[in-house]
Structure 1
C-alpha cells in the first residue's frame, strides 16, 4: 500500500477543533493533545511499522497521531472513550486523510475485546492517557495477542519503570509484566511543548518488540491467559512489600513461608532474595516449577 497523502493538524487546528467540540482537556481523562507534525512522524518512525501493518491507537483525541498512522499504513483502528471526540474523528480523517480506512471503537480501552475489531491489529501505537497508561497497555496486550510491536508515549517516569532492569530501585510490577510479552526498551523522550495543554511532565517513548518478531525471537515461555493467571499473583505479591524476602512475600500465595521456600528452591531461586532481584525468567521458572496453592 502506498503512503497516504495526509494533512496534519497544527496548534491552530487543534485549538479550533477543541473549541468546535467545546472540549476542555481534562486531567481525569489524561488529555494532552499533540499538535506537532514532526513529533507525530517521529513517533510513527520509532514504531517502525510495515506499510501493510494494522495498528491500533488508544486515545486518539483530535486525531494528530491517527493521521500519522494512516499516512504510514493507510488503515488503523482507534479506541476513544470520549463520545464527542469519537464522533468528530471520522470527519477529520475524511478531510485530512482521504482514501484511508479508520475503524473507530467508542469505549473505555480497559473494556476493549478482540471482537471489537474487524481484523486483528498487529501493533499498538498510542499516546496513552497518563493516569491509566500501564493498566491500558497490559490490557491491550492481553486482549490482542496478535500485537507484535508496541510504541507508546507515557509519562517519563513510567517509561523508566517499564524499561527498568532487575536490581534497580524503579524495577517493579510494570517492568516484569511488560517483559513477559517481549523485549522492552526506551525509544526516546518527548518534551512538553508539543502538547496542548502543556503538561507539567516530560514524556517518554517505550517500544516493545513482542515475541514472535525477528527482534525478540520466539516466545521462550507460554503466553496465554491461563499462564498469566498463575504468573501475575506471584509478581504482584513479590513487590507488594519490597523490603520483604521472597519467602515472606510469597507466603500468602503458597499458603505458608515454608511452602513458598520449597517452591523457590525448586525453581533455583534464593528464598532470601527480594522481588526486585528477579527477572521475568525467574518468575516464569517459579510458575513452571509447580502450581501455586
Structure 2
C-alpha cells in the first residue's frame, strides 16, 4: 500500500506536538505539498533496489515518498527531536515500510564512511545554509552514490550547474563536476514549503562519472591536489590565472610555468577552465 504523504495539516500538527519551530539556523523549510514530493522522487529516478540516503528529512514528507520507491532509506537528521519522531511518523503513514527506514541523529557534515552501508543515491531537501558543503561531503565520503537529486536555493542550483565561461561559474560548479555530470532538474515554488522561504528553490541532479569516463579518479588523493588549485583560481576572480595562482605555486613565474605546461593560457581567468583543465593543472605541480 502506498504511503500516505503528509499535507499542511499533518505537518503543522506534528510540529506543534513536538514543539518544533523551523529555524533559519538549521535551514529548515518543511515540504507540505505531496505532489512536490512525488515530483522529486520521480525526478530522482529512484529504483526499487536502491538504498537512498536522505539528509535533513525534517518531519518526513520526502522520506515517505522515498520509502514508496526504494528498498531502503537512511535518513540523516541533526535535530534530535525530529530524528526521534521520524520512525513513528513512518509507522503511522506507511507501516509496511517502517522496517526499511534507518534514522541517524547526526550532522551530515561529520558523518563517516563506516556509518552508512553503501548508498546508491542521495535525495534530499538540503538545508540552504549548508547545501554545497553537504553535497560535496556526501559525494566524497560515499563513492557508491551514483545518482543525486537535491533541492537547494535556486541561486545555488544555478551555480552548481553553471558551465565554464558563465559569470556564475565558480568553485561549487567545478567541485561538483569533479564527481559527475551536473544539471538543473527543475524549479520549485515557494508555496510548497512551511514556512515559505524568501527565495526560490531549484532541483539539481548529479550523475557520477562512470569508471573510465573521465581522465581522473575522483578519490581523496586527486581531490587533495585539485581542490586547492580551484580555490586559489577563484579567490581573486578578476585576476589572471598567472596572478591568482602565484601564491599557490610559490610565484607568478612558477604559476605561469605550470599553466603553460598544462596547455592553459596564463592570461585567462579561472571561470574559463573546465574541471579537466584544473585536474591537468594540479597534476603538473
TM class by smaller structure: over 0.9
Structural mapping, 1:157-236, within 5 Å: 157-212=155-210, 218-236=213-231
Q: Quick one: distance in 1 between partners of 2:194 and 2:144?
A: 33
Say which of 22, 29, 32 aligns to 1:25.
22
Q: Quick one: distance in 1 between partners of 2:125 and 2:213?
A: 28
Q: Quick one: distance in 2 between partners of 1:162 and 1:182?
A: 11
| 8 Å CA contact retained: 1:5, 1:98 | no
Q: Quick one: distance in 1 between partners of 2:109 and 2:135?
A: 9
Q: Quick one: distance in 1 between partners of 2:177 and 2:218?
A: 12
Runs of 4+ in 1 over 4 A off after TM superposition: none
- Aligned partner of 2:262 in structure 1 is 267
Root-mean-square deviation (CA), in Å?
1.1
**2:250 matches 1:255:** yes
| 8 Å CA contact retained: 2:6, 2:33 | yes
Q: Quick one: distance in 2 between partners of 1:236 and 1:155?
A: 22
Q: Quick one: distance in 1 between partners of 2:92 and 2:215?
A: 45
Deviation at 1:113, TM superposition (A): 1.0
Gaps of 5+ in 1: none
Q: Quick one: distance in 1 between partners of 2:21 and 2:147?
A: 32
- Aligned partner of 1:66 in structure 2 is 63
- Aligned partner of 2:106 in structure 1 is 107
Structural mapping, 1:47-66, within 5 Å: 47-66=44-63
What count of residue pairs does the alignment treat as equivalent?
283
- Aligned partner of 2:237 in structure 1 is 242
Deviations 1:222-248 (A, max 9, x none): 111011000000000000010011011
Gaps of 5+ in 2: none
Deviation at 1:285, TM superposition (A): 1.1
Q: Structure 2-normalised TM-score?
A: 0.97
